[in-house]
Amino acid sequence: MTSITPCTPHTGPPGPSAGRNWLARAATAVLDALREMDYAQRRVIANRMSYDGMLPHPGQAPDTYQEFLLRNGVVHPHEPTARQRAAGRQVK
């Protein structure tokens, strides 16, 4: 006895749902590829525009905390004062 089971014969043309499933999968694959290319392009632009790329020694550690903040490129939220937090104001 073999472990291969015979395939069921195809009994006719595919129904309308089979075409839509194939089309949806193809569209999803194309959209996923476009999203990935968009993300890669954004990363390339961010790396080219970074402050680190303009330094003579970009791999060197920053000398001051201000230089570290300049290099990391993260927008820091404004921290409200203790009085404002006690009044219920949230960090923006």
Query: What does the pLDDT look like over 33-71, one tens digit per residue?
Result: 999 999 999 988 887 887 777 788 877 888 898 888 787
Q: How confident is the model at residue 84 (pLDDT cuts 50, 70, 90)?
A: confident
- Residue 39 in any domain: the answer is yes
Distance CA 25, CA 22 (A): 5
pLDDT score, position 31: 96
Distance CA 33, CA 38 (A): 9
pLDDT score, position 29: 95
- Residue 90 in any domain: the answer is no
- Domain containing 27 equals 17-56
| DSSP type of residue 89 | P
Distance CA 85, CA 92 (A): 12
- Residue 35 in any domain: the answer is yes
Distance CA 34, CA 40 (A): 10
Distance CA 81, CA 60 (A): 35
Instruction: Identify residue 58 by its one-letter amino acid code.
Output: P
- Residue 75 in any domain: the answer is no
- Residue 87 in any domain: the answer is no
pLDDT score, position 28: 94
**Structural domain total, the chain:** 1
pLDDT score, position 16: 59
Q: What are 24-34's pLDDT values in tens digits?
A: 999 999 999 99
**End-to-end CA separation in angstroms for the chain:** 70
- Residue 42 in any domain: the answer is yes
- Residue 31 in any domain: the answer is yes
